A and B are shown apart, each in its own frame.
Chain A
Amino acid sequence: MLVLTRKKDESIMIGHGIEIVILGIDGDKVRIGIEAPRDVTILRKEVYIDVANINKQAISSNIPMDLPLGSIFPHKD
C-alpha cells in the first residue's frame, strides 16, 4: 500500500479524474472531499462489507413449504 502524509487542504490525485482533499482533522476524525467522475462508485467500505455479509447469509436461505405466502404478499396477483 502506498502511504502518504498530507496536511489539511492538501490533496492527492489518482489518475486523471479523481482528487481526494483533506478538508479537516479533528482528533481521530478526518473530513475528506472527493472529486471523481460520476460513473465512479464511492462508498464507505463498511457499507459494502455489510452488503457482502448479508449476501453470504442469503445464499443459505430456503423457502419453507408451510410459508403463508398470501399473508406476506397481500399485493401478489
Chain B
Amino acid sequence: MSCCRKDATNMIIETARFGSIEIEPEKIIYFKDGLPGFESLTKYIILSPPELSPFHVLQSIEDGDISFIISNPFLFKNDYSPYINETVFRELEIEDDSQAAIFTIIVIPNDYRKMTANLMAPIIINSEKRLGKQVILDKGDYPIRYSIFQTKSGKVG
C-alpha cells in the first residue's frame, strides 16, 4: 500500500551505481535461476530514476556491485515480437498479458553510439508476483547485439 511506508521493514543496500539506497522488500523480484553469468544472484530490484528514463536499472540486492541497464525494447524496435515458450509463462505464473513486462539488457561501451541491446535474451517479469527470468530465445532471429544507433541511421540491425 502506497499510503503507508513501512520503514521498519525497509532494507538499506550499498550499490556501486547509486551508493546507499533504501528498498522496500515487497519490490524485490526473484529470479529463480539468476541470470546467465550470475547464477547465484537471484534477488533484484528495478530502479527507475527519472533522469535515466527511458532506461531503468536492474540492481542485485545480494551484490551491490552488480546491476544492469535495461530498457523496454519496443521503444527502439517497435516490431519486436519474441516467441516466449508457454513454459516460461507457467514458471513465472503469468496468467494474463497485463502481468507481464519485458525488458532488454543494454550494453553501453565508452563510445555510446555503439550501444547494443540483447534482443536474443529478453528479461520477462511478472510484475504482480515479482518473478523474473532472462529467457534465451530458441526461435526467431533476434541478435544478441542489436545496434540501436545503426538502426537509426537506416541500416537494419
Contacts and interface: CB of A to CB of B under 8 A. Distances in A.
Q: Do A and B come from one complex?
A: yes
A55 B35 contact: yes
A48 B55 contact: no
Given A67-B112, A72-B76, A76-B54, A55 B68 contact: yes
Interface residues of A, number: 28
Interface string B142-157: 0011001100100000
A73 to B, nearest CB: 5
Contacts of A47: 136
A4 interface: no
A39 interface: yes
Contacts of B105: 54-55, 58
A53 B37 contact: yes
B134 A51 contact: yes
A2 interface: no
B69 interface: yes
Interface in B86-127: 86-87, 90-91, 105-109, 112, 115, 118, 120-121
Nearest to A53: B37
* Leading 6 A-B pairs by shortest Cβ distance: A52-B37, A52-B36, A61-B108, A55-B37, A51-B36, A39-B87
A51 B78 contact: no
B74 interface: yes
A59 B67 contact: yes
B136 A38 contact: no
B38 interface: yes
A58 B112 contact: no
A69 B112 CA distance: 11
A55 B116 CA distance: 12
B13 interface: no
B95 to A, nearest CB: 16
Nearest to A39: B87
Interface string A33-58: 00000110111000110111111111
Contact of B121 (A38, A51, A64, A76): A51
B66 interface: yes
